[in-house]
Chains A and B, each alone.
Chain A
């Protein structure tokens, strides 16, 4: 049982908030839910959408087709009319002059006089969203109680009047559809049993909570889509969580605040997207050479340059792997789900402190800003490992410094924090001796390079193997990393229904890649790798570090993530071609062209 719904409206009309609230309604009803926003890079006008997919089975990703389309503007009709399932409903505001618009066939077209409903009920024009949720719930006979409770939760901070008006708006929508919808819509939903522990959360918020569970005390950032909501969420909660959150003048300052705070002994991090990460690059090297831990959350969007700021891509992997001059060790982690954003987000701080190096957590617009139902996270499952800290070093002789960079077998040297007696040293961007004084001695240089590099051995033991989803011995393996796990997981039942058996091998830990992973990859029979970029960056890393080549590469880089049917298609094509080595390019049709004058001419 599945229901897919999309609302399309001008930016600024409030459809994002409304969409998310409806997603919560279904999650409260025990359904698995995906909430998926798309929007262009502007604040008013343009066209925003929010899609909800709800199912009684586990789902992970948005899909292209909808059962119900709610269009609050003309673009909404034009952009979504081709994406309605047979027997679906197109609801639109009857104020829209649709006379010149071609309507889709095989679906119920249902104009609603929103303006009239608003006037009759003395509502605020902004409540059109709420009315359409009432209409949509009416269509599927879904009880309204949870929606009312959520309206109360959402608006009670403003005033009781606003709550009451919204409830009235929802009821008016519900009643309208019951009295006026003459079409035939077969999907009916009922709330199921639920223990009340299902949350609906975005990747950014999940990472932010993970960072807090992981003990972050100072978080500094500069706004950048699609990473900004990490900053927003932590800033809103800084007093509740008893942490300090700072918006800085730029990304250089943000990462350097974090490195400074980490040097002073607290867990610290920052968040950004590719452009901001570019500014942080030099400081990554500072973290590495001074062996000061730092966690950088990098939510990717298409590049280079400003490019497509509100869309998605996995194009920054090689950049993150090599960013900054010189050679140094780092850890790259790419969570595949909101659960992993939380648990691996927390874990990132352990890696940073245990190995005293920069850790980059890679998300992307798709995972960062979409919403997913999940079980409440359990902070008690997060273990804190701070690595080697000398809290009571032996007394120093006059003029002597603490040996902060002591050459050790493991490569890890105990840290001291300012305030600790006898721990005085300099954390420095220059090459240095064991006692931290700058040194240009050749032998010392080699010893220090080797010491820092030695950490990789222990670190690799700590890196978990990639996860296999589905049957271990499936004849086909879909290999992916980061967020593309989600469409890949949803491709499995599509393939299964066609008698194609496959599993998913997912990498959340991208670097370093320990050799022991090789056995797992070699055991895979026919392999297809999906990546949300044009140059198969991770496939290149698998070849470089593990001497492994997948049979087929399927690449998508049009600004959106893979959809489940695209993954399934690619697998089927690869299979039909007997998994001969090949690169496939997956491109959406251009129906989402927001600035396409041809489409606009039909409207205006």
Chain B
């Protein structure tokens, strides 16, 4: 059984002191230990941004792709070897902005992988521009007169697009977040865990205190995660309550066949097929 130490790297994460990313990093490692994963059968895939540094800070296999492109290589990895634990991470700009197309479409496929979004409502690594999840009116470097756009609401989108595990965590509650991520990895299908993650440097609105005052746990209110309509209502509660009440926890969970399970070619992982001589005689006869 792998321990926390097995997933620990020598290098200190290069995030700002107090950044919510530290908690997400720890939560991922906690979750991996809890589900009994091994460093060599785990792949952390990321795009580029502050969240993109995650593969370097978990000692496992990792793939640090391009900005916004965390999900496509994660999908390719999963199709090539579906016995791996594939965890994709992204930021709100990375995943809900430039990578939004991939996000929408991957949920129609229900690959068995986990997607963790560091949702800090701002672009951090490029020093504080408006993000797709930035609230209306917020002043940022790119919206000095206040953001004129309404934010993207990832959870209702996920529920609409058929995600089979939809959760929201808070980087200020490590234990709760670790459990949500462990649940996502264990879930057979596509799991989204949107994580409210304070950017202590560039977001002066959505601070730890801001979330602590507003967040409550769905499980404390007896939420039924198998009820899609209820889940949708809760997923819209943050913005419909004008950000007074923000639910965190597991919104929705559904058992549905994964994409991989519907491909007869994937009885064994593609990687294990090896490269064997292929009989092309029958195929070529069709050209005669």
Contacts of B96 in A (CB 8 A): none
Of B202-210, B230-238, B273-281, the one touching chain A: B273-281
Docked pose: A254 CA to B8 CA in angstroms: 33
Are A422 and B40 in touch, CB under 8 angstroms?
Answer: yes
* CB-CB nearest in chain B for A255: B72
Are B288 and A196 in touch, CB under 8 angstroms?
Answer: yes
Among residues 223 to 272 in chain B, which have CB atoms less than 8 Å away from a CB atom of chain A?
Answer: 263-266, 270-271
* CB-CB nearest in chain A for B55: A426
Does chain B have a CB within 8 A of A256? yes
* CB-CB nearest in chain B for A338: B287
Docked pose: A214 CA to B72 CA in angstroms: 23
Contacts of B39 in A (CB 8 A): 424
Does chain B have a CB within 8 A of A199? yes
User: Could you tell me the distance in whole angstroms from the C-beta of A262 to the nearest C-beta in chain B?
Assistant: 8
Are B76 and A268 in touch, CB under 8 angstroms?
Answer: yes
Are A244 and B79 in touch, CB under 8 angstroms?
Answer: yes
Contacts of B271 in A (CB 8 A): 217, 264-266, 417, 419
Are A419 and B83 in touch, CB under 8 angstroms?
Answer: yes
User: Could you tell me the distance in whole angstroms from the C-beta of A280 to the nearest C-beta in chain B?
Assistant: 11
Contacts of B8 in A (CB 8 A): 398-399
Contacts of A436 in B (CB 8 A): 62
Docked pose: A544 CA to B217 CA in angstroms: 66
Contact of A399 among B10, B42, B64, B270 (CB under 8 A): B10
Contacts of B72 in A (CB 8 A): 248, 252-254, 256-257, 260
Are B80 and A249 in touch, CB under 8 angstroms?
Answer: no
Are B76 and A401 in touch, CB under 8 angstroms?
Answer: no
Contacts of A420 in B (CB 8 A): 40
Are B288 and A246 in touch, CB under 8 angstroms?
Answer: no
Does chain A have a CB within 8 A of B187? no
User: Could you tell me the distance in whole angstroms from the C-beta of A216 to the nearest C-beta in chain B?
Assistant: 9
Contacts of B43 in A (CB 8 A): 264, 418
Does chain A have a CB within 8 A of B214? no
Contact of B73 among A257, A398, A399, A425 (CB under 8 A): A257
Are B76 and A376 in touch, CB under 8 angstroms?
Answer: no
Among residues 41 to 77 in chain B, which have CB atoms less than 8 Å away from a CB atom of chain A?
Answer: 41-43, 45, 48, 53, 55-56, 59-66, 69, 71-77
With A263-B63, A425-B62, A430-B64 as known contacts, state yes or no: A239 contacts B275, CB within 8 Å. no
Of A183-191, A205-213, A354-362, A579-587, the one touching chain B: A205-213
Among residues 387 to 436 in chain A, which have CB atoms less than 8 Å away from a CB atom of chain B?
Answer: 398-401, 417-430, 436
With A249-B101, A399-B10, A425-B61 as known contacts, state yes or no: A264 contacts B77, CB within 8 Å. yes
Are B61 and A398 in touch, CB under 8 angstroms?
Answer: no
Are B288 and A260 in touch, CB under 8 angstroms?
Answer: no
Among residues 146 to 198 in chain A, which have CB atoms less than 8 Å away from a CB atom of chain B?
Answer: 196-198
Contacts of B101 in A (CB 8 A): 249-250, 253
With A244-B265, A379-B280 as known contacts, state yes or no: A429 contacts B48, CB within 8 Å. yes
User: Could you tell me the distance in whole angstroms from the C-beta of A494 to the nearest C-beta in chain B?
Assistant: 29
Does chain B have a CB within 8 A of A259? yes
Docked pose: A192 CA to B162 CA in angstroms: 60
Contacts of B265 in A (CB 8 A): 238-239, 242-244
Does chain A have a CB within 8 A of B105? yes
Are A418 and B77 in touch, CB under 8 angstroms?
Answer: yes
With A212-B280, A265-B271 as known contacts, state yes or no: A428 contacts B80, CB within 8 Å. no
Does chain A have a CB within 8 A of B282? yes
Are A418 and B81 in touch, CB under 8 angstroms?
Answer: yes
- In the complex, which of the residues A256, A283, A286, A376 has the most CB atoms of chain B within 10 Å of its own CB atom? A256
With A418-B84, A425-B61, A429-B48 as known contacts, state yes or no: A220 contacts B76, CB within 8 Å. yes
Does chain B have a CB within 8 A of A505? no
Does chain A have a CB within 8 A of B9? yes
Are A257 and B105 in touch, CB under 8 angstroms?
Answer: no
User: Could you tell me the distance in whole angstroms from the C-beta of A126 to the nearest C-beta in chain B?
Assistant: 22
User: Could you tell me the distance in whole angstroms from the C-beta of B47 to the nearest C-beta in chain A?
Assistant: 9
Does chain B have a CB within 8 A of A384? yes
Contacts of B77 in A (CB 8 A): 260-261, 263-264, 418
Does chain A have a CB within 8 A of B284? yes
Are B80 and A261 in touch, CB under 8 angstroms?
Answer: yes
Does chain B have a CB within 8 A of A32? no
Contacts of B62 in A (CB 8 A): 424-428, 436
Docked pose: A256 CA to B77 CA in angstroms: 10
Docked pose: A175 CA to B151 CA in angstroms: 72
Does chain B have a CB within 8 A of A386? yes
With A200-B287, A246-B79, A266-B270 as known contacts, state yes or no: A419 contacts B280, CB within 8 Å. no
Are A218 and B66 in touch, CB under 8 angstroms?
Answer: no
* CB-CB nearest in chain B for A380: B277
With A399-B8, A429-B65 as known contacts, state yes or no: A257 contacts B59, CB within 8 Å. no
Contacts of B273 in A (CB 8 A): 217, 242, 266
12 contacts between A and B (CB under 8 A): A197-B288, A212-B280, A215-B278, A238-B265, A240-B282, A260-B72, A266-B270, A290-B64, A376-B284, A418-B61, A426-B56, A426-B63
| Known contacts A261-B79, A264-B80, A430-B64, then 16 further A-B pairs from the complex at CB < 8 Å, ordered by chain A residue | A197-B288, A218-B76, A218-B79, A244-B79, A249-B104, A249-B105, A253-B105, A256-B73, A259-B76, A260-B72, A260-B73, A261-B270, A265-B81, A282-B66, A418-B81, A429-B66
